[in-house]
A and B are shown apart, each in its own frame.
Chain A
Amino acid sequence: MSAAIELRGIEKNFGNVAIIRNINLSIAQGERHALIGPNGAGKSTTFNLISGYMAPTSGSVLLRGDVISGLPPYQINRRGLSRSFQVTNVFARMSVWENLRCAVLWSTGQRYAFWKNIDNLPEVRDRTARILADISLTARRDVPAGLLTYAEQRALEIGITVAGGADVILLDEPTAGMSHAETGRAVALIRRLTEGRTLLIVEHDMSVVFGLADRISVLVYGQIIASGTPEEIRGNAKVREAYLGEEAA
């Protein structure tokens, strides 16, 4: 069985500066994989390269064995890979319901239909309602996304990401800026929504990382210096030196 996501010799330069230097990574289907590393290590760039937001300078990204690097983001999304953003990236003037519905449309085969009444599509309606209930925003259904609280916007961000039913989910710092209680709820939500799917998550909160991930990769200066189970990472001397340091000690 081919890996859900595979990165082969990925490099990314911005001008003369090498941001990503030869990353090789394989994530099995159904695995929850965390990408950690200090600020500026290239975690978000890696996400951008996988999701098609940027094209790698060299190397290739494979989704279930097919090369996807070089494809535009919407084609990668249609193949079942969906990502969230570190900075909340929703449709601010549209209601929560409309936000989620837009995220459901393509996967239910609506394409660019201009001959169908959007309120008369039972499948779209059911799936949107299910996601809305999943992210516990039912009470805020008709509120414009731009007026939600920060934690609610983060929940909506995750909702939009999973709404299309993609089986490979990339979450970029989903709990950043949340209180302890909010983080706990967000982790439970992520665990529930990514059940049976492949998850790649960038996260700074180590309790989230070690509580959620099956495997962890550590990215430092554009290179993966270690990859393994949480126990292996915790015990890895190079990781402790480069990044975890005090926390693991």
Chain B
Amino acid sequence: MSGITASAAPPLPAAAEKLRFYASWLVAAIVLLLLPKIFTSGGSTTTFSLMGISIIFSLSYNILLGQTGMLSFGHAVYYGLGGFLAIHSMNIIGAHKLPIPLPIVPLIGGLSGLFFAALLGWVSTQRSGTAFAMISLGVGELIASSALILRTFFGGEAGVSANRTKLLKLFDWSFGPQIQIYYLVAAWTLIAVIAMYALTRTPLGRMCNAVRDNPERVQFVGYNPHVVRYLAFCFAGFFAGIAGALAAINFEIANSAYLGAEQSGTVLFATYIGGIGFFIGPIVGAIFVTFLSLGLSDLTQVWQLYFGLIFIAVVMFAPGGITGLLMMHRPLLKAGTLGLVLPSYLIALLPTLATIAGLILSIETIVHYTVNPGDDSHIKAFGVGFDAASPYIWAIAAVLLTGGFLVARKTWTFIGHAWDGATSIAREKGIAV
């Protein structure tokens, strides 16, 4: 029997492979440790903290969407409740001088998320698909609206604030400076990422995938898909709660925006853009979206519009997200045929960029005339100043948009051809594409 196992089972990882696996986590830890030494500005420390929070939140969302096949429109409920409970705990701990240091508070947030997910999830996880999505939307709206009604707990419009430095000091860290908050977030991010990765490699994690693929068949291998979904939901709530608590610590405030539909939408957006089919997808998405939302909002007034366009583009042209797009190239890299595709990318790059530039120019001009038509027409978008009233600008926008598109469409077929050639060579070499 062991002979069969040896010949039929996938080989167990060799010692070197295991070592490489642990080494990669160690490298991640070192990178997190050194990041603020490389990017020393206060702004980047804040950005990194927000990225860490977003990574945990997006990965927790992918336990639902990517791992178990549940599309939630109300995941921010558990993020927000984790945040509120963390704020209240900080106030209580500070007021009573309880011997609980700040680094423990995210765990309180996580347990709150877990508690509410366990409470609210049993009914909604009976079904996946549309029923689950609709219930998640309903619960989300319910909690978000009660946040404005139950003022004693949620603090109404203003929210509830706390002072993070009033807690028990640990190793002389007051957690006042942003850099200390960064390290707190980084440590929790690493812990949460490892924990969520480990979860995918457990019997429950694999049954989540099975429920995603075929809940009907799961019932006929002895598992109750409802219980699998419910447990996945509880885990997702737990990690979302940790993320919410870290956000509350970072901003020293929790308000109704934490729980709302916009927050739920953002996490769906980040997770999907990153790629739900890969564990690292949501990490990529969280970094990308955090970076973009901070960067774009400085560059243009209608940054949310661009977000929407990016989202539509990803859904239509790259359903595997950024990670899926990159991973498509792995078989070509293995076959050594990546060089056949790259030139076609370069050819397509210029006209595609021209199209995008034309689109941006058109959008900004239209925005100027619809939003503030009375203002000075000399506007600035993406750091470039131009006159929105000038017919030349309109002409340039039209030429870039239509001309660029017509040329770009031709170059995209080059990519298609190059891609076909490269993959067929890879297939001949016996590499699965």
Residues of chain A lying within 8 A (CB to CB) of residue B9: 97, 125-126, 128-129, 132
Query: Would you list which residues of chain A between 98 and 155 have a CB under 8 Å from chain B?
Result: 98, 101-103, 105-107, 110-119, 121, 125-126, 128-130, 132-133, 138, 141-143
Query: Is B130 among interface residues, defined by CB-CB distance under 8 A?
Result: no
Count A-side interface residues using an 8 Å CB cutoff: 50
Query: Is A192 among interface residues, defined by CB-CB distance under 8 A?
Result: no
A103 in contact with B231 given A112-B204, A114-B203, A129-B5 (CB within 8 Å): no
Neighbour of B4 across the interface among A83, A91, A94, A133, CB < 8 A = A133
Query: Is B213 among interface residues, defined by CB-CB distance under 8 A?
Result: yes
- Interface 1/0 per residue, B195-210 and A, CB below 8 Å: 0001101111111011
Q: Which of A14-22, A37-45, A73-81, A221-229 contacts B (4 or more CB under 8 A)?
A: A73-81
A163 to B210, CA, bound (A): 15
Looking at B10, B212, B216, which has the most chain A CB atoms within 10 Å of its CB?
A: B10
A73 in contact with B206 given A112-B227, A129-B8 (CB within 8 Å): no
Residues of chain B lying within 8 A (CB to CB) of residue A93: 209, 212-213
| CB-based contact A106/B223 at 8 Å | yes
Q: How large is the interface on B (under 10, 10 to 19, 20 to 34, 35 or more residues)?
A: 35 or more
| CB-based contact A102/B210 at 8 Å | yes
| CB-based contact A113/B8 at 8 Å | no
Neighbour of A118 across the interface among B1, B8, B203, B210, CB < 8 A = B203
Q: Shortest distance in angstroms between B21's beta carbon and chain A's nearest beta carbon? A: 11
A142 to B432, CA, bound (A): 10
Neighbour of B224 across the interface among A74, A138, A142, CB < 8 A = A74
Residues of chain A lying within 8 A (CB to CB) of residue B216: 89
| CB-based contact B8/A141 at 8 Å | yes
A51 to B222, CA, bound (A): 11
Query: Is A82 among interface residues, defined by CB-CB distance under 8 A?
Result: yes
Residues of chain B lying within 8 A (CB to CB) of residue A77: 219-222
| CB-based contact A160/B213 at 8 Å | no
Residues of chain A lying within 8 A (CB to CB) of residue B7: 129, 133, 138
Query: Is B95 among interface residues, defined by CB-CB distance under 8 A?
Result: no
Query: Is A189 among interface residues, defined by CB-CB distance under 8 A?
Result: no
Residues of chain A lying within 8 A (CB to CB) of residue B330: none
Query: Is B228 among interface residues, defined by CB-CB distance under 8 A?
Result: yes
| CB-based contact A113/B219 at 8 Å | no
A142 to B10, CA, bound (A): 8
| CB-based contact B203/A105 at 8 Å | yes
Neighbour of B5 across the interface among A105, A130, A161, CB < 8 A = A130
Closest chain B residue, CB of each to CB of A111 = B203
Residues of chain A lying within 8 A (CB to CB) of residue B210: 91, 94, 98, 102
| CB-based contact B231/A112 at 8 Å | yes
| CB-based contact A118/B221 at 8 Å | no
Q: Shortest distance in angstroms between A73's beta carbon and chain B's nearest beta carbon? A: 4
A213 to B219, CA, bound (A): 28
Residues of chain B lying within 8 A (CB to CB) of residue A73: 219-220
Query: Is B214 among interface residues, defined by CB-CB distance under 8 A?
Result: yes
Query: Is A72 among interface residues, defined by CB-CB distance under 8 A?
Result: yes
Q: Shortest distance in angstroms between A138's beta carbon and chain B's nearest beta carbon? A: 5
5 extra interchain contacts, Cβ-Cβ under 8 A, other than A72-B224, A117-B201, A129-B9? Answer: A98-B209, A102-B210, A116-B203, A125-B5, A133-B4
Give me the interface of B with A, judged by CB distance under 8 Å. Answer: 1-2, 4-5, 7-10, 12-13, 198-199, 201-207, 209-210, 212-214, 216-224, 227-228, 231, 235, 432
Give me the interface of A with B, judged by CB distance under 8 Å. Answer: 51-52, 72-74, 77-78, 82-83, 85, 89-94, 97-98, 101-103, 105-107, 110-119, 121, 125-126, 128-130, 132-133, 138, 141-143, 160-161, 163-164
